[in-house]
Amino acid sequence: MKVLVAVKRVIDYNVKVRVKSDNTDVDLTNVKMAINPFCEIAVEEAVRLKEQGVATEIVVVSMGPKACQEQIRTALALGADRGIQVETEDKLDSLAVAKLLKAVYEEEKPELVILGKQAIDSDNNQTGQMLAALAGLPQGTFASEVKVADGKVNVTREIDGGLQTVALNLPAIVTTDLRLNEPRYASLPNIMKAKRKPLAVKTPAEYGVETASTITQLKVEAPAERQAGIKVGSVDELVEKLKNEAKVI
Amino acid sequence: MSILVIAEHDNASLNAATLAVVTAAKAVGGDVDVLVAGTSCGSVAEAAAQVDGVSKVLVADSASFENQLAENVSLLIAEVGKDYSHIMAPATTNGKNILPRVAALLDVDQISDIVSVESADTFKRPIYAGNAIATVQSSAAVKVITVRGTAFDKAAATGGSAAVEQLGAAHDAGTSAFVGEELAKSDRPELAAAGIVVSGGRGMGNGENFEILYSLADKLGAAVGASRAAVDAGFVPNDMQVGQTGKIVAPELYVAVGISGAIQHLAGMKESKIIVAINKDEEAPIFQVADYGLVADLFEAVPEMTGKV
Ligand SMILES: Cc1cc2nc3c(=O)[nH]c(=O)nc-3n(C[C@H](O)[C@H](O)[C@H](O)COP(=O)(O)OP(=O)(O)OC[C@H]3O[C@@H](n4cnc5c(N)ncnc54)[C@H](O)[C@@H]3O)c2cc1C
Ligand SMILES: Cc1cc2nc3c(=O)[nH]c(=O)nc-3n(C[C@H](O)[C@H](O)[C@H](O)COP(=O)(O)OP(=O)(O)OC[C@H]3O[C@@H](n4cnc5c(N)ncnc54)[C@H](O)[C@@H]3O)c2cc1C
């Protein structure tokens, strides 16, 4: 079966972002970028499915400017077979990404599409669910376990109260949670090999997808800073402060 | 303006997260209706009808809605919600699972996890793990929104007397099935709603050692949380994780024990009123946000604290 994986180029998770002084956005100049951690887990899961003989081909797709080819190459180095970049300089909202993914889905006809549950920049947690709705497919979001068998995929999901398992008809959409797997490191030979794997470049216009958003970002501000408090010298002092100063116990 | 609030429930009782959404809906202005989709969920509808500020409760009772499968419930919400100006749900895993599907069915963008209502079309939401707050404006015909529960007061659970209306609607996409659930059972307060939260990190060393946190929590009437490192190491189950990708909490008192204070963890607890950190490393970043920091070995400090509160 063919597996499609969506990966997003985002700020590296170790970087603490700063808001621009004119409050129009966060400052991403010269900031280290990387593959979204949840997307990396999605790629790893697809590669494991291939190693188990369940998946036959892994296609990885990213929407964005030319630079997101780096993240496609990272996914190819981890074991994906070929890449598709949908090139756009526009700021895509989740619905636009989902519409583009639906077009790719229709062209590629995969049995399984794996996405990250959320991108760590916009923290939307929307794209997979939107793609599922647009394509009329079932979804297993926040997956911590994925098992494919008998034309179905069983997905164990991390929910507020614990874990839930659902059975989905294929084709289906899965979004990854952190504990689904631990992604491998790409080896140097695989990084070299990835450079020669096919990578097709498309545009939203070729897919006939309109990417305008109904959402306008008016302003971006830094959150109210928390001031560091004091260090207490003993448990007695801590309990005394909590009782008499903060009055919370 | 008319707002459809999606009730979060387990077919027996109304989850308090819904009450915070009602407050956000009231801030938008206009009639607030609540949709209860479930199976034999009459008691939930009754509870929703008593919530202060609710105009009408719509009930869709069908076997296909029993487990809140997104494929089925989203069809219902899109059908009922298309004539409203706003559809709002809590940013719980259930709300996050269903609402983007509704937005896509209605061909509108969604605004996730709002922390304030500036006007009927303008909202604030955290991005980059809470390191920036974006103000966003929506021109969508129907504004589909999830609401961060800790950012809004809970509407009073009583005082209202809304009419309850049964909907005939039953939707079954026929593409998914519920297999099973493993829900954590605990007599302690729910993390997202607790007034005091005691959380343990990798510094706890193992799952058995969490017992000393449970003792402190029980003495304080607190809920117990954890860092991702503690969950990944298997000390405690996933539903205890606090952070960017876990639960967001904002209690009166948050006690971080053996937690270093990574930005992803801070994203889930830095709105707490008072933060206490107990860590043996005086350089740990958690001290930069703590109101009271205690540099100490947790295995000595925590039992001592339990004895003294
Ligand atoms: C007003 C505005 C300003 C913006 N500013 C910026 C900006 O300055 N910098 C910037 O980088 N983006 C910007 N964006 C784009 C925005 O950050 C997200 O790309 C978009 O909202 C999608 O949300 P998400 O990635 O959080 O989706 P989520 O639903 O959180 O993503 C879930 C998953 O969907 C998949 N996915 C998401 N996006 C892509 C993609 N492009 N290609 C392939 N797979 C994908 C991934 O698997 C991802 O893990 C802006 C958007 C708007 C509306
Ligand atoms: C995409 C992504 C999402 C993430 N989401 C989350 C999230 O939602 N929530 C989350 O928590 N993390 C999240 N993380 C992980 C986060 O980056 C950190 O790795 C994690 O929070 C570290 O947990 P910790 O503080 O328990 O462990 P550590 O960083 O290892 O800290 C352990 C601390 O315990 C102290 N300690 C050890 N022994 C003792 C003792 N005897 N007495 C006192 N102190 C002691 C140490 O000094 C140290 O400061 C995420 C990471 C990524 C990449």
Lowest mean pLDDT among A101-105, A116-120, A159-163, B184-188: B184-188
C-beta separation of A184 from A78 below 8 A: yes
Pairing of strands A33-35, A162-169: unpaired
**B12 in A contact zone (CB under 8 Å):** no
Both tokens of A149, joined, read 């068998």
Give the CB-side neighbour count of residue B162, counting CA atoms within 13 A.
26
Residue B107: what pLDDT? Answer: 97
Q: Which run of H or E residues covers position B165?
A: strand B163-167
Residue A225: pLDDT above 90? no
CA distance A78 to A217: 35
Query: A141: pLDDT confidence band, cut at 50, 70 and 90?
Result: very high
User: Which pair of structure tokens corresponds to residue A37?
Assistant: 């951690």
**Ligand 1 atom with least separation from CA of A10:** 11
* Mutation for A interface: B99, B110, B298, most A CBs within 10 A: B110
| Per-residue model confidence (pLDDT) at position B184 | 82
Q: Which of residues 285-304 of B touch A (CB under 8 A)?
A: 287-296, 301, 304
Average pLDDT score over residue span A22-26: 94
Q: Measured between alpha carbons, how far is A181 from A184 in angstroms, rounded to an integer?
A: 9
- Going through chain A in order, the beta strands assigned E by DSSP cover 2-6, 9-11, 33-35, 57-64, 82-87, 112-116, 139-149, 152-159, 162-169, 172-176, 199-202, 215-221, 230-232
pLDDT at A97: 97
Ligand 2 atom at minimum distance from B202 CA: 26
- pLDDT, position A228: 86
Q: How confident is the model at residue B283 (pLDDT cuts 50, 70, 90)?
A: very high
Cβ contact A231–B282 (<8 Å): yes
What value does the mean pLDDT take over residues B242-252? 93
Q: What is the mean pLDDT of residues B95-101?
A: 98
The pLDDT of B26-47, averaged and rounded, is 97
Average pLDDT, chain B: 96
Rg of the Cα atoms in chain A: 21
Nearest ligand to residue B266 Cα: 2
- Over residues B185-244, the pLDDT tens digits come to 888 998 988 999 999 999 999 999 999 999 999 999 999 999 999 999 999 999 999 999
Q: Find out whether A3 and A206 touch, Cβ atoms under 8 Å.
A: no
Which residue does chain B place closest to A10, by CA atoms? B128
In this structure, which residue's CA is closest to atom 37 in ligand 1? A8
Cα of A121 vs centre of ligand 2, distance in Å, is 20
Check residue B143 and give its pLDDT.
Answer: 98
What is the rounded CA–CA span in Å between residue B120 and residue B286? 37
| Residue of chain B with shortest Cα separation from A24 | B134
pLDDT tens readout for residues B123-138: 999 999 889 999 999 9
Closest Cα partner for A20 from B131, B263, B112?
B131
> Which among B74, B94, B134 is the nearest to A220, CB-wise?
B134
What ligand has the least distance to the C-alpha of B235?
A: 2
CA distances from A84 to A115, A227, B177 (A): 15, 46, 32
Q: Does pLDDT of B169 surpass 90? A: no
Residue B290 structure tokens: 């703590």
Q: What is the mean pLDDT of chain A?
A: 96
How far is CA B281 from each of CA A241, B127, B265, rounded to the nearest angstrom? 21, 29, 17
Q: Is the pLDDT of residue B112 over 90?
A: yes
What are φ and ψ of residue B155, in 5° steps? Answer: -65, 150
User: What DSSP string runs through A61-119?
Assistant: EEEESGGGHHHHHHHHHHT--EEEEEE--S---HHHHHHHHHHHHHHH--SEEEEES--
ipTM of the complex: 0.92
- Residue B73 one-letter amino acid: V
